[in-house]
């Protein structure tokens, strides 16, 4: 019961045959080898698997790979370009917005969406925007600072 799908991931087109039940996150990780996207909770809570689907963040553990047929996806692997870190990545690095790093790719994707919609968010808005991303290491304070630092850098750019 394989289905042929065609997706564009990080600007590159892929054609694969997949089982309908294959989750998008497994497709990205195992079929395409893009292991930067992680699996944390499997119940649409933790957000470690967050990727962009048609420019909107989604939890890729709760999307079937077949649902992405014909669509455009972006993952953490696309955030830095030509070896240059994105200001959000710089923000997380400078402000120690990560410890074990497991939630970080999903967190960065959510922050990318936030700063795209709202270039100058308040601390409350930042916390609200990352409600769908759990971090067990940082207590979130340095993440909030990382986002503030990234926002500042992006506005100046």
Partner 1 sequence: MIAASFDYSAPETLADALRVLSDDPEAKILAGGQSLIPIMKLRLSIPSQVVDLGGIIDLHAIAEEEGIIRIGSMTTHEQVEHSELLSEKCPLLVAAASGIGDVQVRNRGTIGGSVAHADPAADYPAALQALDAKVKVVSSAGEKIIPIDEFIVDALTTALEPDEIITEIHVPTESTGIGTAYETIVQPASGYAIVGVAARIGLSEGNISFARVGITGVGSKAYRALAVEKALEGQPAKDDTYGIASRVAAEGVEALEDLHASSEYRAHLATVFTCRAIAAAAGRAQ
Partner 2 sequence: MATTTTPTTKGFVGKRVRRTEDPRLITGTATYVDDVTRPGMLYAAVLRSPYASARISSISIEKAASLPGVSAVYTGEDVKAVGPVPCAGSMPTLRVPHHKILAQDRVYYVGHPVAAVVAIDRYVAQDAVDQIEVEYEPTECVADPEKALESDAVRVHPEYDDNVAFTFHAEGGDTDAAFAAADVVVSERVTVPRLAPSPMETRGVVAEYDEGTEELLVYSSTQIPHLLKTQLAVQLSLPENHVRVIAPEVGGGFGSKCNVWAEEALTCFAAMDLKQPIKWIENRRESINVVAHGRGHVDHLEMAASKDGTITALRFKILQDIGGHHQLLTPIIPTLAVIMIPGLYKIKNFTADLTGVFTNLPPTDLYRGAGRPEATYVLERVVDKLADKLEMDPAELRLKNFPAADEFPFETATGLSYDSGDYAKAFNIALENVGYDSFLKKQEKARSKGRLLGLGISTYGEVCAFGPSPALPAGGWESATVRVEATGKVTVMSGASPHGQGGETAYSQLAADALGVPMEDVVVIHGDTGKVHWGVGTFGSRGTAIGGTAVHLALEDIVAKGKKYAAHILNASLDSIQFNQGIFSSNEVEEKLTFQELALEAAVAQKLPPDTEPGLSATRFFEPPNFAFPFGAHICTVEVDGDTGQVEILRYIAVDDIGNVINPMLVDGQLHGGVAQGLGPAFLEEVVFSEDGQLLTGTFMDYAIPKAKDMPWIESERTVTPSPVNPLGAKGVGEAGTIGSLPAFVNAVVDALSHMGVEHIDIPMTPQKVWNLINERSQS
Residues making contact with partner 1 (CB under 8 A): 1, 3, 19-21, 23, 42-45, 47, 50, 53, 56-59, 62-64, 66-67, 69, 110, 113-114, 129, 131-133
Residues facing residue 12 across a β-bridge: 9
In whole angstroms, the minimum distance from the beta carbon of 51 to partner 1 comes to 9
**Pattern of binders to partner 2 over 13-42, x per CB under 8 A?**
------x-xx---x--xx---xxxxxxxxx
d(CA 7, CA 16): 9
> Between the CA of residue 95 and those of 122, 125, 138, 150, what are the distances in Å?
17, 18, 11, 10
Residues facing residue 5 across a β-bridge: 16
Burial of 156 (0-12, 13-18, 19+ CB in 10 A): exposed
Query: Is 93 among the residues that bind partner 2 (CB under 8 A)?
Result: yes
| Chain contacts with partner 2 (rule: CB under 8 A) | 19, 21-22, 26, 29-30, 34-43, 45-46, 48, 75-77, 79-80, 85, 89, 92-96, 98-105, 108, 123-124, 126-128, 130-131, 133-144
């Amino acid at each position: 019961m394989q289905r042929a799908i065609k997706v564009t991931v990080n600007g590159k087109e892929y054609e694969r045959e997949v089982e309908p039940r294959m989750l998008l996150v497994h497709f990205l990780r195992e079929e395409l080898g893009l292991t930067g996207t992680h699996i944390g909770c499997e119940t649409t809570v933790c957000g470690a698997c967050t990727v962009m689907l048609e420019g909107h963040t989604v939890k890729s553990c709760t999307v079937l790979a077949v649902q992405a047929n014909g669509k455009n996806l972006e993952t953490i692997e696309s955030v830095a370009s030509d070896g240059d870190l994105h200001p959000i990545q710089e923000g997380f690095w400078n402000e120690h917005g990560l410890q074990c790093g497991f939630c970080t790719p999903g967190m960065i994707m959510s922050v990318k969406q936030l700063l795209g919609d709202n270039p100058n968010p308040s601390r409350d808005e930042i916390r609200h925007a990352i409600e769908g991303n759990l971090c067990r290491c940082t207590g979130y304070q340095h993440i909030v600072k990382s986002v503030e630092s990234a926002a500042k850098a992006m506005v100046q750019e």
